[in-house]
């Protein structure tokens, strides 16, 4: 950059600065307006005007905040003139008061997060709402992330916004004693988004909608960790997201096929993200309250150690899965535990564990068939392994995973 | 703002051998809740309704009204009573709604449309 990286000379930089400023600005607007839609609209209009300014503003966030709240106040005045209800008039005077507030932008991001993840909203819409309102992700991208039609996702988000506006949801931070319950909703929302983004190994969804979904989910997870530094599970989840993202460059080969964790080249992992995750987990550990997110992050961190000493401590991973299974029993956790066990006691031991799982519940889960294929192949039962791969492929995996499974099946033949 | 807390409960819970004792305990719970609302300075009103068997429903179809013997919808849980409370937010309303004694059933919480507001 000609001016030594100080200014925002390229339009791309300005667009990025606008996206980076968005959570803070939209949160401050939403807290003032008590209306997510109005906050988003005001921000979008301000952003559009910012992009065509002859010279980019020195402080993009502050400029956007001032422009957007002026726009929001105009909209409110217009509405109040139309309806003349006492409620609308009161809102105008409230907003006028806020206009007088001095800079800097009040930090309302945590409030907004708790509102988007309010338990009065359906669990299936909370993450979508947070990604839409806080990160500004387009509805099309969110729809792909959660594998529903754009129309359905649009309706879901619109309905949630109307509920937030009309149902009387408090625009306040919940009392501290309610945080564990509310935080659970926030973390679950993030986890859903993360799982969906991570399943997209080849970036197929992302390519379709022109967004890096994993990056947005990571941004949101880091924001939550930054806002809740005393909540070890929030730190654990952010660490998990960072560790998964640290492997992004190694997850797909030159042909676009997915590369499973065990075959990834650790030299291609992002050491900075691994370090950042480790620091988050160290901090979480000092808080002395363990939980599933921290255990899952610890498992991922144990895998990441391979980058430093070239080996995987399967005994440690197996112990962590035992803890996770006690904290959050599920067939998928049991499945991962069986794979870890097989590393120590052999493929047959792992297969015996898999056979004990509820096969009918897992029939539609690709990881179940892939795990069976892996252990069957290791046990020398190649025909059965091929059949298991066939079952996984029949479940229509995304392209990168399909290419990997097909290549594997060909090698077995 | 005002919220209506609708008590949808399974009336049959009060019909069994322990029904009378259960009803007595539930009514005592309502008395206690009313006292707490008064103590907290929350404006409220509320009524208990007679059983769903006493309900008569008017149904409109194509401009004609027909009478039906029974409640609007046949479900296991019927509207058994309600409160209307005036509190700051849904969060506060939910807090109070959680304290309504319901042996079997649930509470629906809905904001009351304010008089004179647009819509």
Tokens of A270: 């992002």
- Give the residue from A411, A328, A330 showing the smallest Cα distance to A374: A411
* Nearest residue of A to residue B116, measured between CA atoms: A85
User: How far from B84 is each of A11, A226, A279, B87, CA to CA, in Å?
Assistant: 54, 40, 51, 10
CB B90 to CB A170 under 8 A? yes
The pLDDT value recorded for residue A6 is 42
With cut-offs at 50, 70 and 90, classify the pLDDT of residue A85: low
Q: Which residues of A touch B (CB under 8 A)?
A: 83, 85-88, 120, 166-170, 172, 174
Q: Shortest Cα distance from B98 to chain A (angstroms)?
A: 13
**How many whole angstroms separate alpha carbon A39 and alpha carbon A110?**
16
Q: Worst-scoring range by mean pLDDT, A328-332, B14-18, B102-106?
A: B14-18
For the cut 60, the answer to whether the pLDDT of residue A93 exceeds it is: yes
* Residues B42-81 pLDDT 10s: 999 999 999 888 999 999 999 999 998 888 887 888 999 9
Q: How far is CA A254 from the centre of its chain?
A: 26
Chain A: give the shortest CA distance to residue B116, in Å.
Answer: 7
Give the model confidence (pLDDT) of A108-161 as tens digits: 888 898 899 898 998 889 988 988 998 888 898 888 778 789 999 999 999 999
Chain A contact probe: residue of B4, B91, B108 with most A CBs at under 10 A: B91
What is the torsion angle, in degrees rounded to the nearest 10, for the CA atoms of residue A147, residue A150, residue A156 and residue A162? 150
For residue A160, which residues of chain B lie inside 8 Å, CB to CB? none
Question: Is pLDDT at B83 greater than 90 in this prediction?
Answer: yes
Question: Comparing A179-183, A285-289, A345-349, which segment has the lowest mean pLDDT?
Answer: A179-183
Domain A313-413 listed as CATH 3.90.550.10: no
pTM of the model as a whole: 0.76
Q: For residue A4, is pLDDT > 70?
A: no
* Domain locations along chain A: 11-99, 104-195, 229-307, 313-413
Give per-residue pLDDT as tens, A217-245: 888 899 889 988 999 999 999 999 999 99
Task: Give the ipTM.
Answer: 0.79
Residue B57, phi then psi, degrees to nearest 5: -115, 135
What is the share, in percent, of chain A residues with pLDDT greater than 70? Answer: 88
Confidence (pLDDT) at B118: 54
Q: For residue B86, list chain A residues with Cβ-Cβ distance below 8 A.
A: none
Check whether A207 has a pLDDT greater than 70.
no
Domains, chain B, in order of start with CATH, read 2-111 (3.30.70.1060)
Mean pLDDT of chain A: 87
A295 touches A317 (CB < 8 A): no
The DSSP symbol for A174 reads P
Q: What is the mean pLDDT of residues A58-82?
A: 86
List of chain B residues whose C-beta atoms are within 8 Å of the C-beta of residue A121: none
Task: Indicate whether A2 pLDDT > 70.
Answer: no
Length of chain A equals 413
Q: Which of A83, A164, A168 to mutate to test the interface with B (most CBs of B within 10 A)?
A: A168
Of A22-26, A101-105, A253-257, the range with the lowest mean pLDDT is: A101-105
Which of chain A's residues have a Cβ under 8 Å away from the Cβ of B114? 87
- B113 in contact with A, Cβ within 8 Å: no
d(CA B4, CA A242): 45
Tell me: pLDDT of A5 over 50. no
Maximum CA extent, chain B: 51
**Which pLDDT band, with edges at 50, 70 and 90, does A201 fall under?**
low
DSSP per-residue codes, A55-68: S--SSHHHHHHHHH
């Amino acid at each position: 950059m000609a001016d030594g990286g100080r200014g925002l000379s390229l339009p791309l930089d300005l667009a990025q600065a606008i996206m980076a400023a968005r959570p803070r600005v939209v949160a401050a607007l939403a807290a003032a307006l008590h209306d997510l839609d109005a906050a988003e609209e005001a921000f979008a209009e301000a952003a559009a005007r910012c992009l065509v300014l002859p010279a980019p503003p020195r402080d993009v966030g502050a400029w956007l905040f001032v422009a957007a709240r002026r726009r929001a106040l105009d909209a409110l005045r217009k509405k109040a003139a139309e309806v003349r209800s006492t409620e609308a008039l009161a809102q105008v005077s409230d907003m006028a008061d806020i206009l007088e507030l001095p800079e800097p932008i009040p930090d309302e991001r945590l409030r907004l997060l708790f509102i988007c993840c309010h338990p009065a909203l359906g669990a299936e819409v909370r993450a979508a709402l947070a990604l839409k309102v806080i990160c500004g992700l387009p509805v099309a991208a969110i729809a792909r992330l959660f594998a529903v039609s754009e129309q359905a996702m649009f309706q879901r988000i619109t309905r949630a916004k109307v509920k937030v506006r009309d149902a009387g949801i408090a625009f306040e931070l919940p009392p501290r004693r309610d945080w564990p319950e509310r935080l659970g909703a926030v973390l679950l929302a993030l986890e859903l988004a993360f799982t969906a983004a991570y399943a997209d190994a080849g970036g197929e969804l992302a390519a379709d909608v022109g967004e890096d979904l994993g990056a947005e989910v990571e941004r949101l997870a880091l924001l939550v960790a930054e806002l809740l530094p005393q909540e070890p599970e929030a730190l654990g989840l952010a660490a998990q997201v960072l560790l998964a993202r640290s492997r992004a460059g190694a997850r797909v080969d030159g042909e676009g096929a997915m590369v499973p964790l065990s075959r990834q080249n650790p030299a291609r992992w992002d050491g900075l993200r691994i370090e950042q995750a480790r620091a988050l987990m160290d901090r979480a550990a000092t808080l002395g309250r363990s939980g599933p997110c921290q255990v899952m992050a610890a498992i991922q961190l144990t895998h990441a150690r391979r980058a430093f000493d070239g080996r995987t401590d399967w005994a440690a991973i197996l112990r962590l899965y035992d803890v996770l299974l006690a904290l959050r029993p599920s067939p998928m956790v049991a499945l991962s535990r069986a794979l870890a066990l097989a590393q120590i006691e052999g493929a047959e031991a792992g297969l015996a564990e898999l056979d004990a799982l509820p096969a009918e519940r897992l029939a539609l889960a690709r990881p179940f068939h892939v795990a069976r294929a892996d252990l069957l192949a290791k046990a020398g039962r190649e025909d059965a392994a091929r059949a298991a791969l066939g079952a996984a492929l029949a479940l229509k995996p995304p392209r990168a995973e399909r290419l990997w499974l097909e290549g594997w099946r060909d090698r077995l033949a | 703002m005002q919220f209506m807390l609708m008590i949808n409960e399974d009336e049959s819970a009060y019909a069994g051998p322990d029904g009378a004792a259960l009803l007595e305990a539930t009514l005592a719970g309502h008395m206690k809740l009313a006292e707490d609302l008064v103590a907290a300075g929350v404006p409220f009103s509320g009524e208990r309704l007679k059983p769903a068997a006493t309900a008569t429903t008017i149904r409109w179809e194509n401009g004609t009204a027909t009478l039906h013997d029974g409640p609007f919808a046949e479900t296991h849980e019927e509207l058994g009573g309600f409160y209307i409370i005036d509190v700051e937010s849904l969060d506060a309303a939910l807090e109070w709604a959680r304290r309504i004694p319901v042996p079997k059933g649930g509470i629906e919480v809905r904001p009351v449309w304010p008089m004179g507001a647009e819509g």
